[in-house]
Amino acid sequence: MRSLLLTAILVASAQCTIHAADLVVDVRHDLTRLDICAANASADGVADDSPAIQAAIDHVGGVGGGVVFLPAGTYRVADLQLRPGVTLAGVGREQTVLRALDTSPMVVMSGGTLRDLSVYGTPTEDVSGDGWQITTKAGSGGTATSSHLITVKDAIDPHIENVRVTESRYDCLYTRGSTGLRVSNSEFDRSGRNIVSMVGNDEDFSFMNCRFGSTWRLYHFDIEPAGGRWVRNGAFVGCEFDGTKAGEGGSDSWGRMLILTGHDDLQNRDITIAGCTFREISLRVRGIFPGVKLLNNPVLDGYGPFFIKVRTNPVGELRDATVIGNRFADGDAPAESMRSGVTFTGDTVFAVNEPESFNQIELDAPATTEEAAKNKVADE
């Protein structure tokens, strides 16, 4: 029996993600004891807990990294700067809640990990949930306070794990400059502008087992680099893009799109979408976007054809695409058409898609430099 008990203890120790040598700072109990801050975080949903949590982040980051632990409670915060090497961790989405203090972004990540909590852009419970009202303009009746709930900016290896991000005045997640962004098992919903915006110089990123939807005011998920910036080498795996509630509660019903914005320099490229479900969400192509791979997606259900180009963009071209093993749907029925205005060029491959007719798509001539330049002007 003693041998079995010792074995169990050793196995449990090996599986534990926080080792004894790691620094863990509890923001409700350790800050005054360790002389990190003049007061511990209150987690009462009223007081400004930003100074206490930031002091803990700076302390842990300054000694080589570790965990800033947020026990169950509601923390009012603004402009938390999460640094490389620091994990800001709660005890779960329902128990640890961050709520907006003012119009600033709530968490700004230059690195580190955000884990096991919820981030609400509304300040209190009574203007959240069923009390949430959508708008982007402060003072115009909307209940969201914070603009971008999570901002990823000039970041190396930022991680977001098991986090709910919801009720933003602008965007739930806004990225501008990241390498190695990893987002997993997380949910993003309810935005006054876009649910997610990726605006450039983001590469080597992945979203795994995430849900995006289902109400917003402008666009669903917008990959929109401009001004010479780029988004490239990314993947969506096992995610759900949900537009089934679009239009409810004053939200938009037109922008049901995952948007891929490309330019004539072909720097925006190489996005893989695998094992994902799209419910009333289409893939909009702006400009030339090379290297898109759609692999084994069980439901690709746009609110029209799945691939679309709108009239304001002269060019919507997928070059060297791979479209294999997907099911294109119109509700519960097979889709009758795959695309509207989008062209497929280069070494594009279609195979093992449903309906079978979607495997015989004719390829088009690539856009000219002049045509691509017109598209860029239209975007601007």
Band of the pLDDT at 17, cuts 50, 70, 90? Answer: very low
Determine the pLDDT at residue 313.
85
How many alpha carbons fall within 13 Å on the CB side of residue 355? 13
Which pLDDT score, from 0 to 100, does residue 2 have? 34
Whether the per-residue pLDDT at 16 is higher than 70: the answer is: no
Rounded Cα distance between 155 and 53, Å, is: 20
Backbone angles phi, psi at 3, to 5 degrees: -65, -40
pLDDT digits (tens, 9 = 90+) for 323-372: 999 999 999 999 999 999 999 999 999 999 999 999 999 999 988 767 66
| Torsion over CA: 327, 331, 332, 333 (sign) | negative
Burial zone of 225 (CB within 10 Å; 0-12 exposed, 13-18 middle, 19+ buried): buried
pLDDT for 126 equals: 95
Q: How far apart are CA 319 and CA 139, in angstroms?
A: 45
Q: What tens digit of pLDDT does each residue of 143-198 get?
A: 999 999 999 999 999 999 999 999 999 999 999 999 999 999 999 999 999 999 99
Check whether 93 has a pLDDT greater than 50: yes
- Decide which of 282 and 4 is more confident: 282
DSSP class per residue in 338-358: SEES-EEESS-EEES-BSGGG
Q: For the chain, which residues make up each domain, given as ranges?
A: 77-379
What architecture is the 77-379 domain classified under in CATH?
A: 3 Solenoid (2.160)
pTM of the model: 0.92
Q: Is 379 left (phi over 0), alpha (psi -120 to 50) or beta?
A: alpha
User: Residue 89 — φ and ψ, nearest 5°?
Assistant: -125, 135
What pLDDT is recorded for position 135? 78
Mean pLDDT lowest for which of 101-110, 167-176, 303-312?
A: 303-312
Q: How many whole angstroms separate alpha carbon 194 and alpha carbon 247?
A: 14
Q: What percent of the chain has pLDDT over 90?
A: 82
Burial 174-189 (b: 16+ CB within 10 A, else e): bbbbbbebbbbebbbb
| Mean pLDDT for the stretch of residues 200-212 | 97
Which band of pLDDT confidence, cut at 50, 70 and 90, is reported for residue 35? very high
